Structure 1
Amino acid sequence: MSRTLLRPLYAVALLTLVSGCTSNTWQTHAVPSNAEVADMLAGGQPVSQPWQLDEASYPQFTVPQNVRPCCAFGDMQKVKLGPVPVPFFRLNNVVGLSDIGPHKFASGIYHYTPSSSSVLDHGGSENNGILYTKQGGFIDLAHVRDTADDTIGLFFEILANLGKAHRIELPAELGPRYIEMKAFDVSALNDEQKWSVAAHLAARLAYFKAESHEIAQWHGYTSFSGWPETISAYSLEDLYSNMLGAKIVLNLIQQRKVLSEVEYNQNVSLWLNASLQELGIVDKAQAKEVLAAVDGKWWSSQASIPSKYMVLKRHYDLGDQQTPHLLTPELLGDQFAHLQPLARSSATVISLPAYAESLELDQVAKLVLEIEPRYAATFSHIPAQIWSDRIDHTEFPMIAQYAEQQDSKDLEALGVGND
């Protein structure tokens, strides 16, 4: 769950950071067709027409360069800086629906949205954290928002280059990371179909970018030297949260609700809150009870951040269909028997289409991760022919399975299960 660093730990670590807020804004527009103008002048009745966008007005940006700080899985965790425990400090990162703030594209560490620009009943910061939903399990809001922003960040560049051989550079982690678009004939696609293909590619590749980050964290990538992020790798709620963000923005792109940054931010805010309600978000107090119920099973309150095995249960099932981890009756003892009704909910499985307009999307573009020599030792448990050249997103599930095997050995040596 912890994507990079943990928000409250910036103060604890006495790090002075420049906010990740961005001045990037965008606004594009639909161009009326000649037929629409002719009909209007002739007094015809207005009819709905496919939108014709001016390519010259496409926003000139790509994915944000930084990710939002977020949360390690658990509640009120202890923290260590090196070998030294931080006294009198516990990490409280659980939020409820009323706590969630308005979305801001590429907000970074902190951004304040005034009430006048918010479609919620309040302004303020995004106020990211973790929450629990009956059908979607735990959700990490920072992961949802980051992949949402990556989706729109990729969309217009993909649309402008659809059918061409093109490379989109992404922030490096274990090594160079980029999207490799292949040339193909688009002459059979109309403008609406090109829009749809680009939208599905953007959502899919933004999600696989999130998968690559899970891999990078497991293999030793850190945003700041001396602060390990292995605690965050394959955290059980991460990828479901990422895919939720991709799906929200895929829907908004298809509905043409992303033509300006203001419109985008407002619609992500509305659809995020509505999606959480549809998934059955519980209040903050009950979410904290669920975390307490899985203490010692999914995470350990006895361990301290950033110890990797503070998190005991991880999610290694990568791919374009994601199933959430839900509370089950077997996890509840007498102390939490009152949560039995919550533990009988059914999961909402979400997925991203592998095809759009009859095109197999993985044949059109792939996300590629290269491994720098300094990280090679962390891949020693994986046959070199799998990773030594480069890894693309179709191979990520295989990498994750090797990680699962290694983590199982480590947990067994510690005398802890990973069920």
Structure 2
Amino acid sequence: MPARKGPLLIPLSMLGARPYLVVDYLPFDGLALTLSQRKQIGRAVRFLAAQLRGNSAPVRVRLVGHTDSTGAIAHNLALGRKRAEAVRGAFLASILRQAPWLAPRITFDVLSRGEAEPIASNRTPGGRGRNRRVVVFLDIQGSSAADLPQVRALGPSGGPTRPPSARTCCILAPTTSPRTANNNLLEPSNLGVHRGASETTGLIYHPQYGFLDLGHIRDHCDLTYFLYAHIANSGGKTGTVKTVNSTATITKPVPPEMWVLVARSIAYDDGLGHEIHSYANRLVPGMHNSSFSPEDLPSNFIGTRVGENALRRGGDFSAAVTASLQNLLFGAAALKDTRQAFDNINGCWVSFTDPRSLLDADYLLRRNFTRVPWKAPRVRNAIPSSWMFEDLTPAAAFYDFIYNEGRRIPKSTFTAEFANIRQDAAKRYGASYDQWGPCSVGP
């Protein structure tokens, strides 16, 4: 699998929070970098050097090594560090070749997460390849945060003061009414104005992102906005912020360059908490039979990203979300093609015959526990944008989180909750419960 063409071109003021470079598909149980990966690192160094000419700020490079889940935990933790060291060596060698004036200003931090933070399923060769990676973060000390959204950009009121309520969202089905075909599917040209009378919710298929739930996306846009306003209006100070169903406690001051990322991370955790809570409820349609539906976590994450984009646009937030959604959904499938994508996964991901199927607690046959988009077979598909793999984990150092709907679910227990749900899902739905394929259905 070829390496990505990075680096990720993002503002210097955000480099400490976002990945600058991802070197993935490293060899199984190995460290060796391919020629393509070394060229990838070389391009990243050239871009960095071009940005820093005439700037004397020190640079801290943090390299985090990751592995797939094959092998012992201790072995993988050591292997992740060795991989990070290998990329560090290649990064430094490229600096010495291309921009030796930069070398004295750079400090390296080498870390490992081992197998603990997968971004894809470890059950497929492709997923394991993406998990075998080194993620590079940069911190340009003293860089300006002038391009970040500030409190003054939130409007006369300083942004929302009450947490948004969730919209009625959409189970993975073409219709929820026995009288109306495809009423749950959307035309991408007719989404309406965000939070306006014309706003639409429903499902749409995109070649890059798979099925998208516009209700989830809009909810997470609004939640990111609310959380950002709280953090920004407090100046990033410690304290508690409550959503409708959760409580986040800011445990240490949040610097301005992290305000958006922390808001997005809390919003995403809120969505995760809901999925965990709903899995146990087999009595109410739209709970267990929609929990961890293939489109849920990708839609939640995309919603936080669209919310950030809207904040950066400034001005009226609803108008900015409307514009950002139009940009995001460029190239989305028409309604008839979204229906075709659904027909191609029916009988594989879900079991739909008519709206009465939605009353079955086991309607959903496969569940996506990641934000990696699942793609329907035999339709036009494309590689997701690199921002789908942004790392939210740096934000977690600034807050504690508890989801409170139904029962108390601290973020510290999410890993154990996932393990229990996976164990149950494997028993109920078989070995492919968390896989998008194979799907031997459709025309």
TM-score range, shorter chain: 0.5 to 0.7
1:229 pairs with 2:287:
yes
Cα offset, 1:396, TM superposition: 2.1
For residues 265 and 88 of structure 1, the distance between their equivalents in structure 2, rounded to whole angstroms, comes to 33
1:72 pairs with 2:90:
no
For residues 152 and 221 of structure 1, the distance between their equivalents in structure 2, rounded to whole angstroms, comes to 32
Quote the residue 1:202 is aligned against.
263
User: Residues 93-112 of structure 1: matches in 2 within 5 Å?
Assistant: 93-104=184-195, 111-112=196-197
1:295 pairs with 2:346:
yes
For residues 62 and 371 of structure 1, the distance between their equivalents in structure 2, rounded to whole angstroms, comes to 18
Cα offset, 1:100, TM superposition: 1.0
| 3-state SS, counterpart of residue 294 of structure 2 | coil
C-alpha contact 1:147 1:207 (8 A) present in aligned 2: yes
C-alpha contact 1:231 1:307 (8 A) present in aligned 2: yes
| 3-state SS, counterpart of residue 201 of structure 2 | coil
User: Residues 169-318 of structure 1: matches in 2 within 5 Å?
Assistant: 169-172=242-245, 177-184=246-253, 194-220=255-281, 229-253=287-311, 255=312, 257-259=313-315, 263-277=316-330, 280-302=331-353, 304-317=357-370
Quote the residue 1:323 is aligned against.
372
Quote the residue 1:396 is aligned against.
414
Quote the residue 2:133 is aligned against.
none
Cα offset, 1:228, TM superposition: 6.0
C-alpha contact 2:220 2:267 (8 A) present in aligned 1: yes
C-alpha contact 1:326 1:347 (8 A) present in aligned 2: no
Change over 3 Å in CA distance of 1:182–1:264 after alignment to 2: same
Partner deviation per Cα, 1:304-349 (whole Å, 9 max, x = no partner): 11322211111123xxxx31001235xxxxxxxxx4xx15x33345
Cα offset, 1:246, TM superposition: 0.5
For residues 369 and 295 of structure 2, the distance between their equivalents in structure 1, rounded to whole angstroms, comes to 11
The share of aligned pairs that are identical, in percent, is 22
For residues 222 and 346 of structure 2, the distance between their equivalents in structure 1, rounded to whole angstroms, comes to 32
C-alpha contact 1:316 1:401 (8 A) present in aligned 2: no
| 3-state SS, counterpart of residue 270 of structure 2 | helix
Q: Judge which range, 232-241 or 400-409, deviates more.
A: 400-409
Cα offset, 1:285, TM superposition: 0.6
For residues 213 and 354 of structure 1, the distance between their equivalents in structure 2, rounded to whole angstroms, comes to 18
User: Residues 38-53 of structure 1: matches in 2 within 5 Å?
Assistant: 53=151
C-alpha contact 2:224 2:264 (8 A) present in aligned 1: yes
| 3-state SS, counterpart of residue 98 of structure 1 | coil
For residues 60 and 247 of structure 1, the distance between their equivalents in structure 2, rounded to whole angstroms, comes to 18
Change over 3 Å in CA distance of 1:99–1:53 after alignment to 2: closer
The amino acid across from 1:249 in the alignment is: G
How many residue pairs match? The answer is 285
For residues 282 and 165 of structure 1, the distance between their equivalents in structure 2, rounded to whole angstroms, comes to 44
The amino acid across from 1:180 in the alignment is: T
Partner deviation per Cα, 1:79-125 (whole Å, 9 max, x = no partner): 7xxxxxxx656663111112211101xxxxxx51xxxxxxxxxxxx2
1:363 pairs with 2:400:
no
For residues 371 and 283 of structure 1, the distance between their equivalents in structure 2, rounded to whole angstroms, comes to 36
Quote the residue 1:405 is aligned against.
423
Cα offset, 1:353, TM superposition: 3.7
Cα offset, 1:416, TM superposition: 9.1
C-alpha contact 1:220 1:228 (8 A) present in aligned 2: no
Change over 3 Å in CA distance of 1:213–1:58 after alignment to 2: same
C-alpha contact 2:236 2:259 (8 A) present in aligned 1: no
| 3-state SS, counterpart of residue 303 of structure 2 | helix
Cα offset, 1:210, TM superposition: 1.0
TM-score (norm 1): 0.61
TM-score (norm 2): 0.58
Q: Judge which range, 297-306 or 128-137, deviates more.
A: 297-306
C-alpha contact 1:236 1:313 (8 A) present in aligned 2: yes
1:63 pairs with 2:63:
no
1:161 pairs with 2:234:
yes
C-alpha contact 2:285 2:361 (8 A) present in aligned 1: no
Change over 3 Å in CA distance of 1:135–1:416 after alignment to 2: closer
For residues 245 and 52 of structure 1, the distance between their equivalents in structure 2, rounded to whole angstroms, comes to 20
Quote the residue 2:47 is aligned against.
none
Q: CA RMSD in A?
A: 3.1
For residues 218 and 282 of structure 2, the distance between their equivalents in structure 1, rounded to whole angstroms, comes to 21
For residues 385 and 429 of structure 2, the distance between their equivalents in structure 1, rounded to whole angstroms, comes to 29
